[in-house]
Structures are given as C-alpha cells and as structure tokens.
Chains A and B, each alone.
Chain A
C-alpha cells in the first residue's frame, strides 16, 4: 500500500519544474515536501493528484499505475492552499460532496452520508457548524472543513498544499498539532507541501527537501538537521554562518583553534565550512573571528546577537540570556569561536 514515485520529470515551456524525482511514501506515513517557492513541490503534488501529467516517470500506489487513472478515480484527498470550499454549499454539503457525486450504485445511503458528515464534523470539532456557509467561517475553520471534505471520500492518500500558509502564527501552531493528531487517528498516508522548515521538521515523519525541481535530501527530521548532506539543506533548515577553514578529515583548523567537523563524506583541504548560531562561544579575547557587535535581540529562548567581522562578514550568534554576552554593548569587539562546523 505504499506510494512509489519514480523518475518524475516535468517541463513547463522549457522550464524544468521537476527533474528525475523519486521517493516513496510508506503506508500511514506523514511526509513533508519542503522547499523554497519555485522548487517544484506544488507541481509534484498536482501530478500526484492527477491535475497535471509528468513528461516522464511513474507513480504507483499499491501496484496500480496512478498516471493511467483519471484524477476522479484516484481517491486522493486534496486540501488546497485556498481551501477551495464550495461557497454556495453549507459546511455539511461541502463535506458530503465527494459521497453525493458518486454514481448511484456506489453512493452510500442518505443516512450513511449524514452519519459520515456528523462523524467528520466531530473530528474537526465543528459539530454545530454544519449549516453554516464558508463565508461565515474563520480561516482556521475553513481549513478544517477542507480537511474533513477530503477525508470524507476515505482517501488512499491525503495531499495538503501549504496547509497553514494563510493562517496567523497562533492558529497555525494549534492547527499543526491538531493535524498531526488527526493523522495519527485516521492513519491515512499524508503528504504535505510547505516552505516552512520548522513546520516540516515539527510535523513530518520524513522530509523530502526539494531545490529547483530536484531532490536534495530525504530523511527523518533529526537526520536532516544533524546530518545535512548539502549546503542547501543546511542553509534552508536554519541560520548559518560561513567560516573558511582547512579541513583535515574530522577536524577543521582555524587560526589558533580547531573544532570537530561534520560532513557526509570525509573531506580534506581548504573549505568554507558553516556553523549554526548556537554552536558558538563568545569571548572578549583569545582566538576566534574578530567581530563588532551590531545588534542584540533579547526576545526568544536565547539572546540573538548580530556581529560584523572586520572583512564585512555578518554573523548571527545565539547565547544564553544569563551568559556574559548579556553585558556586551553595541560596537564592542568580541571573538567568535564555533564549537562545531559542517562542511560539504
């Protein structure tokens, strides 16, 4: 019952939207397609739903060739970024739509449809909203109705396009946790598209990172974060600082100090390594990259400092609120020392 996507290539007017994309979604898995805009993630989702056809490649589900199937026969529940609720139908009619349009032989009875709608309204915690119209709902409520409508057809796969894109930060966080819960309850294989790395890492079992229509890396959130395989993945998953070093196997040598280096394959020679803002130490003297304090942002779990090196390099450094760094003043000179670096 797994979804197998192999060697998908899609070109729009000579623009390669997807190049040789292959991945697999296991039954019940929660998969994120992560990438910046223009990376091809929505195109990929549309190909899975059958709203577009690839130039090359295969999409198989449970041994069935999905590319040969009409979109209405794929039983893929899709939640659109705009929600695409039927504006002239009530919430209950929206949810029931996928069942009521079935040919009369396959259509459940009126009572069964009503029961399904009620069960789903309960699932999305909108029991008393069945008679309302989409225009009378908030963004978060519409999102939930769109999800219930997609779940009503008992989908083999659930696709979500930027499910939280149009919502404000608080609702987003709430809905994210709720979506994970719904997924765990229904157990339906779910693929969602996002450009928000935090969302992807927080929600998904595995993340597929896309860049310019190609897969950069596939892995569990922890793997991606701790073992990024490319510069792009490292930079996309969080803030990054550059640090030129002489790499020698598992150690990076800087002027006056050395730190462990993390890399996919053993590397040697002169490299621009990278380090995270929180993998750092700050000191007012000693070895390190000499820099001046430009700004301090005291909000959040740690103190965020922005520093400018003598050569113009900008550094972002995170330090504990109760560290010595709290006493630093703007334009003070400090020395930045990464505690570990990544090389590609």
Chain B
C-alpha cells in the first residue's frame, strides 16, 4: 500500500487505542470463529467428517457453488455493462441509475427475497401464468439464483465505476483513432485496464453470493437436499440441535470466506501496485 500513516509518538493514549481495537476484534471476530472450530470438533474428527459427508450437506455445498457459478458471471457482465454506460456516456437519469444500483446494499435481504415471491410465487403476479406453463421459480433453483443476483448486484459495478472514472476515456478514444473496432477496444484496451478491479469485484460478489442467507431463505422453501444452500443447511441443523453438524458446515463456509479473504488481500496488494502505476501515468 502506498499510503502510510504518519507516525505519531507512542503515547499511552495511542497504545490504549491500539489495544482496544485488537481486543474488540478478538471479541467479535476471532473468538466466534474459534468457537465455530471448537464446536465442530467438540466430539472429535470422526463425527465432524461424518456430518460433512451427509448427502444433505454435500448437496447444500453443490447448490451453493452452482448458484454462485450462475449468479456471479451474470453480475460480472452486468457490472461491466453498467460501469461502461455510467462512465463512458452522458444520459439523463444517470444519477438515478447510480442510486438504484446501491439499493441492494441498503434494503434488507429479506425484502430482496420477498419481492420475487410476490412476483413469481403461487399467489404472485405471474404465479398463475408460470404454474400453467409448468415453470417453477420460487422454491427452486431459478428463485435462488435471482434472489442472489439481486443481493449481489452492485459489487462488480461498484468496484469498476470509480476506477473507470479515474482512468477516463482517453485511451479508448486513442484506440478508435488508431482503427480499433469495438471488439478490440474492449478486449485489448478496456479489459486489461480494469482486470484487477474486476477480479476484486467478482471475488467480493462470490463471497457474498455463497454466504447470502436472508433473501435466499425467503425463496428457498428449505427443501433438504434440493433447495437448501449451505447457510440454510446450517440453520436447519442448528434448529435441530445438531450442533456438530451445524458447526461442521459452518467451518466450510468460514473456510470459503477465509480463502476469499486471502485472495482479496493478495489482490489488494497487487491492485494497489497497479493503481499506483496508473496514477503515475
């Protein structure tokens, strides 16, 4: 990272503040995470593995990955399109579009799930028509995917917009005068310039897509082995007092989160270097 904090003298206040932050983080992050591990292995390794090998657990992991695998690429494409439109063109209603883009961050995920039930559920606006056509959206994979898409919509666009605004259009305009068509322009100029921010956005989007609970919970219907994603699976087990099972599944989710965190830190380090080089330019 390029920005280093100015060094303050190590006064008792400074030491106290640092200790407070470390203690607080231990209390609210490290301790619960350690507890997850502790509870998962409370009865040893064998029960831990058995509960992970349960078909419901495996199907929950598969479903979680499948939902993320569909939702994240769609949001990446949308994010690039939205960032491109917002930073490269002038149009009326741009401010409104930017505000709407933030909506999924500000509204409760439960609402994000509920809107789909109200639209596509059995008693929703399109419920009857869908039922006649034999298409099931709510309490099925499509519902899980669209709920996840809605909740994770802003991640990629929000990463790209400030970067693309900062980079400006000069390089793209130059490419056009040099004879580049739209295709070359995007793949040879735009994409290489945003690749790290894009990767970073996709990563955040993936982490959120896999961990999403609220919206998914509303549209899932909690059908074991069918529509339970990993977070929902954990809830079900916990409600049934299967604490080893619940915490074992939680270690998977926490593991995914930690992998994401490591990748994110790596990218931040990598991305900061690139950004610094870009700024010098």
In the bound complex, residues from chain A placing their C-beta under 8 Å from that of B181 are 72, 101
Contacts A78-B174, A80-B170, A80-B173 given: A85-B281 contact, CB under 8 Å? yes
Q: Does A97 have its Cβ within 8 Å of any Cβ on chain B?
A: yes
How far is the CB of B275 from the nearest CB of chain A, in Å?
Answer: 11
How far is the CB of B246 from the nearest CB of chain A, in Å?
Answer: 46
B179 touches A86 (CB 8 A): no
Scan A124-157; emit 1 where CB is below 8 A from any B CB, else 0.
0000000001110000000000000110110000
Contacts A88-B192, A134-B281 given: A72-B174 contact, CB under 8 Å? no
B171 touches A87 (CB 8 A): yes
Q: Which of B168, B173, B175 contacts A97 (CB 8 A)?
A: B175
A72 to B181, CA, bound (A): 7
Q: Which of B168, B179, B278 contacts A102 (CB 8 A)?
A: B179
A201 to B174, CA, bound (A): 28
In the bound complex, residues from chain B placing their C-beta under 8 Å from that of A98 are 178-179
A101 touches B184 (CB 8 A): yes
A316 to B181, CA, bound (A): 55
In the complex, chain B residues 232-281 whose Cβ is within 8 Å of any chain A Cβ: 277-278, 280-281
Q: Which of B170, B171, B176, B281 contacts A71 (CB 8 A)?
A: B176
A133 to B276, CA, bound (A): 14
Q: Does A82 have its Cβ within 8 Å of any Cβ on chain B?
A: yes
A101 to B177, CA, bound (A): 11
Contacts A51-B173, A80-B170 given: A101-B278 contact, CB under 8 Å? no
Q: Does B87 have its Cβ within 8 Å of any Cβ on chain A?
A: no
In the complex, chain A residues 66-86 whose Cβ is within 8 Å of any chain B Cβ: 71-78, 80, 82, 84-86
Q: Does B140 have its Cβ within 8 Å of any Cβ on chain A?
A: no
In the complex, chain B residues 167-219 whose Cβ is within 8 Å of any chain A Cβ: 168, 170-171, 173-181, 184, 188-189, 192-193
Q: Taking each of B175, B176, B177, B179, which has the highest tally of chain A beta carbons within 10 Å of its own beta carbon?
A: B177
Residues of B within 8 A of A (CB): 168, 170-171, 173-181, 184, 188-189, 192-193, 277-278, 280-281
Can you list the 4 inter-chain pairs with the closest CB atoms, starting with the nearest? Answer: A98-B178, A84-B170, A84-B174, A101-B180
Contact sample, A vs B, 24 pairs, CB 8 Å cutoff = A50-B177, A71-B176, A72-B178, A72-B179, A72-B180, A78-B177, A80-B173, A82-B168, A84-B174, A85-B174, A85-B281, A86-B189, A87-B193, A87-B281, A88-B192, A89-B192, A98-B179, A101-B180, A101-B181, A101-B184, A102-B179, A150-B178, A152-B178, A153-B178
